[in-house]
Amino acid sequence: MIKPVRDAIIPELGMNYWFKKFFKDCVNLVYPISCFSCGIKLNLENNMPICMECFQKIKWNAPPYCIRCGKSMSEQRQYRSICAECKSSNFYFVRIWSCCIYEGIIKDAILRFKYSENLYLVPFFKEVMAKFIKNNIDKDIADVIIPVPLFSSRLREKGFNQSKILADIVKEILNKPILLNALKKVKSTKPQQELNRQERLSNLSGAFSVFNSKEIKNKNILLIDDVLTTGATLNECARVLKEVLCKEVFALTVARG
């Protein structure tokens, strides 16, 4: 079970339930627990950093989905299994799923998490991803989980990789192993959001490389990232994984732009 950060300071051994509860209540008096979105004070026993009213405002990526990029096609007048963009694109992954639309509460949560490492949001992301996976993804879809890696200097600068933390959540939900050193980012790249589609493709060329290919060969892989925009990053990761003869590549993100 993933525990919120405020629980992490409470030792697990040698404390009975009531002492732990007393200590937790004291911590909450000093650091009141409030909804990260609206600021309302939350119940002391609530491990979620968001109130139910705000949670219900999340804009989910609603079915039916494009069978390649996972885009919601619920507003299409006529049902299509694949969107227009995917019909004219060359993908190395089989399919991407995205839990939510990148706006409002989800966007706020991801930005807080991605750039400030607000670990108190982990239970929130776990709830979102568990709910989506339960309703949309076969738990045996993949053999291993791989988070989209950061370049070494960027990782040192940030001190954490948000995709790795999200992969830890998915590992717990799917009960599948994570490969942390199989796929690495070997080239520093410009931020993708600053580039157009063609520039994104050029920017990512040669950015990723596979290590320990024996761990990947003949395996179905689930890539994990925070936000999907054009899919260029996930597609480049999938391309280099396919080069070392993995079986199939799928991907899951918390949100899509």
Per-residue pLDDT, averaged over 76-100, amounts to 89
**SS3 of residue 254 by DSSP:** strand
Q: Which residues is 256 bridged to in the sheet?
A: 101, 228
Residue scoring higher pLDDT (186 or 21): 186
* Same domain, residue pair 185 and 204: yes
CATH code of residue 200:
3.40.50
* Same domain, residue pair 141 and 231: yes
* Same domain, residue pair 37 and 79: no
> pTM of the predicted model, to two decimals?
0.85
* Same domain, residue pair 86 and 38: no
Residue scoring higher pLDDT (68 or 27): 68
d(CA 31, CA 17): 21
Per-residue pLDDT, averaged over 19-46, amounts to 69
* Same domain, residue pair 185 and 69: yes
* Same domain, residue pair 126 and 196: yes
**SS3 of residue 131 by DSSP:** helix
* Same domain, residue pair 181 and 198: yes
pLDDT-derived band at 16 (thresholds 50, 70, 90) equals: low
Exposure b/e, 50-72, CB count within 10 A at least 16 = b: bbeebeeebebbeeebbebbbbb
* Same domain, residue pair 134 and 15: no
Q: What is the pLDDT of residue 240?
A: 96
d(CA 69, CA 86): 7
* Same domain, residue pair 36 and 118: no
Tell me which residue has tokens 């807080």.
112
Tell me how many domains the chain contains. Answer: 2
Per residue in 113-134, pLDDT tens?
988 878 889 999 999 999 999 9
* Same domain, residue pair 154 and 229: yes
d(CA 130, CA 232): 25
Q: What is the pLDDT of residue 6?
A: 41
Full domain range(s) for residue 34: 5-54
* Same domain, residue pair 245 and 142: yes
Give, in order, the Cα–Cα distances in Å from 13 to each of 19, 26, 27, 62.
12, 19, 18, 43
pLDDT-derived band at 201 (thresholds 50, 70, 90) equals: low
A 10 A CB-CB count for 18 gives 8
* Same domain, residue pair 132 and 246: yes
The sign of the CA dihedral 197, 72, 93, 152 is positive
Q: What is the pLDDT of residue 22?
A: 60
